[in-house]
Structure 1
């Protein structure tokens, strides 16, 4: 859906079409300021030699029209990874922790951009 939503989950418009300056104002106020704060927090924590950022989200139990991934299997939790910052063994530990607590887990699916397989893992 992008950094600035323009439609609701069924595709209807959320608001009027934004001008480039309106879009930039929203990005500056919310998106970029959030990332500056996150970058600063990681830099502060990294002074201790390491920092762990866990990127995960829950998923709606039913398919939404805007989702590119229309497979019917819906995980309870999606863990986001990337090939540069996420050691495979760390991702495996996070996934196993959720599974041991009875959750179904997917990696980079369905609301994330796929970096590696988005296989749904059973609990």
Structure 2
């Protein structure tokens, strides 16, 4: 499955692997067509990218994939979430619309204006959101066809201090936040993640960020699709905001993620039910 015409990449794993590492927010790339209507100058845009980008998460996923006992597949977004955010609902169901962060952001992390209100978001959604969603759906379908299951592990990071855009930023901010879904996150998968990341000073569930990504085709409908979000507090592995990673810390986190991939692969190989 190739996507040379689109700025996202499906990196193949072992054919028998059910696991798909999803990395939606690692890129800082904002191509010229997506800059239309953005009201930040270059310096302000770089500052915003420092705060909004899940820096180094693509490197984390790649390192985990390379060391996992069964190589997972990886779906990596090559565009910044300031172009489109593939994990938002593209309609009024999206909670983050209240702070200008639906599928196409109109506000910054500090709730300042990002795009002119005259900008029509639909061309951005048509050009980048819908092809991304279709490709991610196809990637999940391919894992289901090959293995009878799909395990989507969403790889994110989040700032140590809450930013003004966060709707639920007043709660605990553990070193590792695990986002779950009542339908798509089996208790065993959550337990495996808690075990894998036990050495990082504590995990929390759905705080400060909740939920996990499942393509709409499967969401709430296909129990063969399991999903879990991993949110790593950025002080665990990098200089904030937007600074370099600490290689030793990144490798330790990648080893934990690889252990989770291995456990999830073994679980998924078991009979369903």
Which category of TM-score, normalised to the shorter sequence, fits these structures? 0.7 to 0.9
Aligned equivalent of 2:109: 9
Asked if 1 retains the 8 angstrom alpha-carbon contact of 2:106 and 2:117, the reply is: yes
The 5-angstrom pairing of residues 13-92 of structure 1 reads 13-19=113-119, 22-47=120-145, 48-71=147-170, 73-92=172-191
Asked if 2 retains the 8 angstrom alpha-carbon contact of 1:59 and 1:77, the reply is: no
Number of residue pairs matched by the alignment:
111
Confirm or deny that 1:104 pairs with 2:202.
yes
Task: Specify the SS of the correspondent of 1:110.
Answer: coil
Greater Cα offset, 29-38 or 75-84? 75-84
Aligned equivalent of 2:194: 95
Greater Cα offset, 87-96 or 6-15? 87-96
Structure 2: segments with no counterpart, 5+ residues: 1-100, 213-273
Asked if 2 retains the 8 angstrom alpha-carbon contact of 1:42 and 1:51, the reply is: yes
Greater share of strand: 2
CA distance in 1, matches of 2:123, 2:201: 39
TM-fit CA distance, 1:85 = 1.4
CA distance in 2, matches of 1:105, 1:92: 11
TM-fit CA distance, 1:108 = 2.5
Q: Structure 1 residue runs of 4+, over 4 Å off? A: none
Task: Specify the SS of the correspondent of 1:31.
Answer: helix
CA distance in 1, matches of 2:170, 2:129: 29
Structure 1: segments with no counterpart, 5+ residues: 115-123
Over the aligned positions, Cα root-mean-square deviation in angstroms equals 2.2
CA distance in 1, matches of 2:142, 2:211: 28
TM-fit CA distance, 1:44 = 0.5
Higher relative contact order (CA 8 A, sep 6+): 2
CA distance in 2, matches of 1:40, 1:91: 25
CA distance in 1, matches of 2:198, 2:118: 42
TM-fit CA distance, 1:72 = 5.7
